[in-house]
Amino acid sequence: MRYRPTEKLSFEDNLVLRTRKLADTAFRNTIRTNSFTASYAIDRRLSVYGGFSYDDYSATAAVTFARGTAPLTATWHDQTLNRVWQGGISTQPWRRAGFNVSGNFIRTTGVGEISGEPPTFGPLTWPLITATGYYDFPRAGRLSLDLQ
């Protein structure tokens, strides 16, 4: 969904909801995602944006092996939850040159479990900032320099 109440302000939201089952293998998974972004053009040469994304993935299954060392059955559960906060600013102070600065803060939790064994990893967080300077050469293209 995209909504633009004024020429300078816009909102965008994307939602996905899925549930799947496969009875032969006892497989089931659910996917829930949503992302929201708001953008505002202060003037022709300066704009800002901010947003939030949410992603939840969950799956369970049971497996029976035809041969091998006991136990011959295993169950597993996998769940990942991601959240991303983002924001940025874009400016073009000159006709062919400009700057973009954007940042993300990501938090992810992951739990993978096989037959009751504890997960080998857990929550992670990290920030990421990217700054880009660019110049547009006529008929040749854009030259950009990024710093993360």
| 35/134 Cα distance (integer angstroms) | 28
Q: How are strands ordered across the β-sheet holding 97-114? A: 2-3, 9-22, 27-43, 46-64, 73-91, 97-114, 124-137, 141-147
55-59, 115-119, 127-131, 143-147: which range is least confident on average?
115-119
Compute, in degrees rounded to 10, the torsion defined by CA atoms 93, 11, 29, 108.
Answer: 40
Of 101 and 59, the one with more pLDDT: 101
As a whole number, mean pLDDT of residues 68-87 equals 84
Categorize the per-residue pLDDT at 128 as very low, low, confident or very high, splitting at 50, 70 and 90: very high
Report yes or no: 49 and 40 within 8 Å, Cβ to Cβ.
Answer: yes
For the chain, the average pLDDT equals 89
Categorize the per-residue pLDDT at 120 as very low, low, confident or very high, splitting at 50, 70 and 90: low
Task: Write down the pTM of the prediction.
Answer: 0.73
